[in-house]
Structure 1
Amino acid sequence: MYIVAIAWIYVVFMMAITETSVVAGIMTFLLYGVLPVTIIVYVMGSGRRKRKRYAQEMQRREELQKSQEVAASTERPPEA
C-alpha cells in the first residue's frame, strides 16, 4: 500500500520540479501529491482501525467478565 503512495509522491515531486515558478511547484506538489495521498492512505487504513477498535472492545469485555467472576466468587453467603 505504501509503495504506491511513495511512488506517486515521487512522480508528483518530479512534476513540481518542472514547473516554471516556485509557487506553482509547491501548489502542484501539495494539490496533486500530498492531499490525494493523505486521503487515500486514510481511507485504506479504515479497516485496520476498525479491527483494532473491535479487538480493544473484546478485551474490555473479557476483563469485565473476569472481574465480575472474581467478585461473585469472593462474595460470602449471608450468615443465618
Structure 2
Amino acid sequence: MHIVVIAWLYVTVLMALTETSVVAGILTLVFYGLAPTTLLLWLFGGAGRRRRAARMSREASPASDRTDHEKPEH
C-alpha cells in the first residue's frame, strides 16, 4: 500500500513542477496529491485504528478481566 502512495505522490510532484505558476503547482500538489492520499490512508487504516484502540483499552484495564473469585481480597 505504501509503495502506491509513494508512487502517486511522485507523479503529483512532477505534475506540480510542470504547472505554469507556483500557486497552480501548490494547488495541484494539494488537491491531486496530498488530499486524496490522506483520505485513502485514513479510509484503509480504520481496521488498524480499531485494533489499536481495543488493545489499548485491554491494557488499560487488566483488573476488569478477572472474575470475582480471582480478585484479591483486602
TM-score class normalised by the smaller sequence = 0.7 to 0.9
Aligned residues: 73
The higher radius of gyration belongs to 1
Percent identity of equivalent pairs? 38
Query: Who is 1:78 aligned against?
Result: none
Q: Structure 2 CA distance, aligned partners of 1:19 and 1:65?
A: 59
- Report whether the alignment pairs 1:12 with 2:28: no
Q: Structure 2 CA distance, aligned partners of 1:20 and 1:14?
A: 13
Cα distance, 1:58 vs structure 2? 3.5
Cα distance, 1:64 vs structure 2? 1.9
User: Structure 2: which 5+ residue stretches go unaligned?
Assistant: none
Runs of 4+, deviation exceeding 3 Å: 57-62, 65-68
Cα distance, 1:26 vs structure 2? 0.7
Query: Who is 1:39 aligned against?
Result: 39
Q: Structure 1 CA distance, aligned partners of 2:63 and 2:32?
A: 47
Over aligned residue pairs, what C-alpha RMSD do you find?
2.1
User: Structure 1: which 5+ residue stretches go unaligned?
Assistant: 76-80
Cα distance, 1:55 vs structure 2? 2.3
- Report whether the alignment pairs 1:55 with 2:55: yes
Q: Structure 1 CA distance, aligned partners of 2:21 and 2:27?
A: 10
